[in-house]
Structure 1
Amino acid sequence: MQQNPLAPFSLSWSFSVSPSSTTCSTKFHPEPIHPSTSQKYFTLISSKQRSQHGLTGLQKNSNYALSRIIRREAAIQGIGRKAKSKKQRNRLWPKAVLEALDEATKENSWESALEIFGLLRKQQWYDPRCQTYTKLIMMLGKCMQPEQASLLFETMLSEGLKPTIDVYTALVNAYGQSGLIDKAFSTVEDMKSVSDCKPDVYTYSVLIKACMKHAHFDRIGRILCEMSYLGIEYSTVTYNTIIDGYGKAEMFEEMESLLTDMIESGNCLPDIFTFNSIVGAYGNSGQIEKMEKWYDEFQLMRIRPDIKTFNILIKSFGNAGMYEKMESVMEFMEKRFFSPTVVTYNIVIEIYGKVGKIEKMEEYFKEMKNKGIKPNAITYCSLVSAYVKAGSIKKVDSILRQVENSDVVLDTPFFNCIINAYGQAGDLKRMVPAKEMIMNQVKTEYKDDGI
């Protein structure tokens, strides 16, 4: 196949409506939660917990986010105060408790969520519901807290509730996310003994995802055989989950074989998720020709690429040192009115920075800002690393000034990047003030948050 350097692997697509994207998710959509193990009542989200998601930098426009945090913490704190009062412990206002529980889960504080749920169960108006348990167990699964999920399941049984398929699937997910694959399989077996609660395609998709995540590839065949025996048809999610897992494990033969099965089934057609999984698998492994081939194949299937597809192509070409093709993808996106995102520019900036193409890196950084795309901590980290590698330590000072005058959300990797930059350059005079600036910023943030 002849290649045009300005139009690699036939960068084009049909403008017909493509199949809808199908991601590897279950039918549950609870809010993501992150855990802690302390048993104190209504502990506020601490600075340490927030640091897991990245420390906030000099944020000029953070009033909304900050006020939301304060409102949530005030609500939880208020419930906590009432909980300590013997007179009011069992007479809390339903709306206040339920809102506090909802806010705690939304703000990724599983400890607070469980403590509030404990209070909820003590109220005279409390009505146990499987839906509430499903959300909490799913939350604990995402937070890698399988033991807590198991305890919550036992609590539900003690209240006389009959587990639904949703509750069981949430428990399978909780075990699977933490790599407790045997317990996940055992839970599926338990489901089979409960009337009107047989595992369905979503349950098996969760189980498959867990096996792929923890490299239990030998169990996939067993799951698929069991699904067929029970008359459960594979869904697009089922196929996509396995294809994505095989791709990440570089099991390309198995990946392509399953794609063939998917197409031949006639019931589950490949979608954009399938597209990106296969193109990404070959791109990440440096098999550019295979990546290009499958890009064209999916075009023939009339599946349109999305921004993630282009980011995969850009990163793959860049890592392979094929900079002309990388830039041609950027040009193609512009012609097709596909706006690059901060992720797109971060990929290009990092690639040029790593190979010492400072002028090119700066060119795209400038273009990024001219288009109104705000750099983030990842952008600045790439710039700093590139300047240090090129011996341009003075430009790191410039980056710091830009950061101080922006509302960029900083994180721990950025702080480490700055300190390491001055440390590698042996510039202790600059490293100490940088540390002080960072500590002052952190103290200011925590003070503003009332910590």
Structure 2
Amino acid sequence: MFGVQVFRWMQKQRWYIADNGIYSKLISVMGKKGQTRMAMWLFSEMRNTGCRPDTSVYNALITAHLHSRDKTKALAKAIGYFQKMKGMERCKPNVVTYNILLRAFAQAQNVERVNSLLKDLDESSISPDIYTFNGVMDAYGKNGMIREMEAVLARMKTSQCKPDLITFNLLIDSYGKKQEFEKMEQVFKSLLHSKERPTPSTFNSMILNYGKARLKNKAEEVFKSMTDMGYTPTFVTHESLIYMYGLCDCVSSAVQLFDELVNSKIHIKVSTLNTMLDVYCLNGLPQEAHSLFERAKNIKIYPDSSTYKLLYKAYTKAKQKELLDILLAHMDKDGIIPNKRFFLNAFNGVASVPANSESANVATDSNTANSESAIAAADSNIENSESANAATDSNSSNSESDNAATDSNTSNSANSTTDSNGPKILQSWQLT
């Protein structure tokens, strides 16, 4: 109930004046923390103080519900509030409302509801914005729904809304994850001919996705292009390369790159250490992983809980009891107290591996190298886009829009998508 105490303290301050801005912000914060009941209490408290809710407050309330774990119930609640807003003059849905809902239903892969909302949007006086299209395309892309994503792009063109960097990056990453590399490369060429410029995360995504397909030469070509164009590799770039080499059975190349980073005297993040450890484990080299772990502190890299989790899973899979005992002793010494989830994740990882499978085919940890998280930078490539994360802050129209999203499976456009529709649409765009 800490949130209630803070709120009560605020109410006692001389400067405090109850207004919609404060309430919508507080409701958003509670939603992000997963405290939906607290968000609802604040909404009730607001009305009890005489404040009249407006669109921004309802947007915050919808977003708060969408943060809850029960997504089916949350989506039903969100639609309920949406319908209620339509009947209140000062709470009419705005583009942010649609963006929040469209992205949420696209993430839930509910194409029918997305189309229904788009039709509703078309019949209103509200025009979709770039956040509308980017948000829904990103949600579809992350779910591997390429045809639906391309349908949104077609609708975007029809609406004369030009793509921005986020559009290009999410298309590149979505095509890369599905290993539709020809399309990915076409989008990258379109990006180079547009007014936008690639970011490091554009290259990181391509490197990683080529790596997952074991196309080492292609990944190295991307890295060369990156440096030739004057970009400075980020720590995510290095992690993507190290992980790529691990996936391509080139452990020596991964080790060489890691050692070069250590010898360069730059600050090495623990996520980079985790990536290198994961590469060893993926390739059935638990002893080498253990040796690196033992010398990590000497090179000023300090393991975190993710380090312990990935090693625990790897040692368990490799049936390295001696290494497990040493690791547990380190955990005890470093004050790392494993919880129930720690062990369940580790044992689930082991249970999912066929008895005779080689550890090279096993994923060790979801925290690999930020390799999925760093790589998640590559993932949505949404460097400047808090946008892909769905709307939260419902008070400022732009900040909400940034966090919002939409889809677009235009009723007919999904059926008209051709095999290379996305890249063709981009190429036909007048990008200046």
Q: TM-score, normalised by structure 1?
A: 0.68
Give, in whole Å, the separation in 2 of the partners of 1:301 and 1:369: 38
Query: In 2, are the aligned partners of 1:377 and 1:409 still within 8 Å (CA)?
Result: yes
Query: In 1, are the aligned partners of 2:39 and 2:61 still within 8 Å (CA)?
Result: yes
Give, in whole Å, the separation in 1 of the partners of 2:47 and 2:207: 52
Partner of 1:207: 101
Query: In 1, are the aligned partners of 2:214 and 2:248 still within 8 Å (CA)?
Result: no
Give, in whole Å, the separation in 2 of the partners of 1:426 and 1:257: 48
Bigger mean CA offset, 250-259 vs 328-337? 250-259
Query: In 1, are the aligned partners of 2:242 and 2:279 still within 8 Å (CA)?
Result: no
Match runs of 1:81-230 below 5 Å: 112-121=2-11, 126-178=16-68, 179=71, 180-230=74-124
Cα distance change on mapping 1:350 and 1:114 into 2, 3 Å? farther
Partner of 1:386: 279
Give, in whole Å, the separation in 2 of the partners of 1:327 and 1:126: 57
Give, in whole Å, the separation in 1 of the partners of 2:56 and 2:265: 44
For the residue of structure 1 that corresponds to 2:334, the secondary structure is: helix
Amino acid at match of 1:401: E
Give, in whole Å, the separation in 2 of the partners of 1:245 and 1:390: 32
Cα distance change on mapping 1:216 and 1:115 into 2, 3 Å? farther
Cα distance change on mapping 1:143 and 1:329 into 2, 3 Å? same
Give, in whole Å, the separation in 2 of the partners of 1:389 and 1:275: 32
Q: CA deviation at 1:396?
A: 2.8
Q: CA deviation at 1:117?
A: 1.2
Match runs of 1:246-261 below 5 Å: 246-261=140-155
Give, in whole Å, the separation in 2 of the partners of 1:330 and 1:439: 41
Bigger mean CA offset, 175-184 vs 114-123? 114-123
Partner of 1:282: 175
Query: In 2, are the aligned partners of 1:173 and 1:210 still within 8 Å (CA)?
Result: no
Deviation by residue 1:366-417 (Cα, 9 ceiling, x = unmatched): 2333555533333223322333455544433432233223554643231122
Partner of 1:359: 252
Q: Does 1:322 align with 2:223?
A: no
Query: In 1, are the aligned partners of 2:10 and 2:16 still within 8 Å (CA)?
Result: yes
For the residue of structure 2 that corresponds to 1:162, the secondary structure is: coil
For the residue of structure 2 that corresponds to 1:442, the secondary structure is: coil
Partner of 2:404: none
Deviation by residue 1:55-109 (Cα, 9 ceiling, x = unmatched): xxxxxxxxxxxxxxxxxxxxxxxxxxxxxxxxxxxxxxxxxxxxxxxxxxxxxxx
Q: Does 1:263 align with 2:157?
A: yes
Q: Does 1:306 align with 2:199?
A: yes
Q: CA deviation at 1:258?
A: 2.1
Amino acid at match of 1:139: V
Give, in whole Å, the separation in 2 of the partners of 1:381 and 1:198: 48
Amino acid at match of 2:310: C
Partner of 2:379: none
Amino acid at match of 1:387: Y
Amino acid at match of 1:280: D
Q: Does 1:412 align with 2:412?
A: no
Query: In 2, are the aligned partners of 1:385 and 1:417 still within 8 Å (CA)?
Result: yes
Q: CA deviation at 1:441?
A: 1.7
Larger Rg: 1
Give, in whole Å, the separation in 1 of the partners of 2:236 and 2:129: 30
Percentage of pairs with the same residue: 29
Bigger mean CA offset, 201-210 vs 406-415? 406-415
Q: CA deviation at 1:221?
A: 1.4
Bigger mean CA offset, 399-408 vs 312-321? 399-408
Cα distance change on mapping 1:143 and 1:428 into 2, 3 Å? same
Residue 340 (structure 1) aligned to one of 215, 220, 233: 233
Give, in whole Å, the separation in 2 of the partners of 1:337 and 1:211: 40
Give, in whole Å, the separation in 2 of the partners of 1:422 and 1:130: 54
Give, in whole Å, the separation in 2 of the partners of 1:131 and 1:409: 42
Amino acid at match of 1:281: S
Cα distance change on mapping 1:410 and 1:187 into 2, 3 Å? farther
Partner of 2:397: none
Bigger mean CA offset, 371-380 vs 347-356? 371-380
Partner of 2:345: none
Which ranges of structure 1 fall in alignment gaps of 5 or more residues? 1-38, 40-111, 445-451
For the residue of structure 2 that corresponds to 1:196, the secondary structure is: helix
Q: CA deviation at 1:313?
A: 0.8
Cα distance change on mapping 1:167 and 1:373 into 2, 3 Å? farther
Give, in whole Å, the separation in 1 of the partners of 2:320 and 2:180: 42
Query: In 1, are the aligned partners of 2:277 and 2:293 still within 8 Å (CA)?
Result: no
For the residue of structure 2 that corresponds to 1:382, the secondary structure is: helix
Query: In 2, are the aligned partners of 1:314 and 1:329 still within 8 Å (CA)?
Result: yes
Q: RMSD of the alignment, in Å?
A: 2.5
How many aligned residue pairs are there? Answer: 333
Residue 289 (structure 2) aligned to one of 396, 410, 413: 396
Query: In 2, are the aligned partners of 1:422 and 1:431 still within 8 Å (CA)?
Result: yes
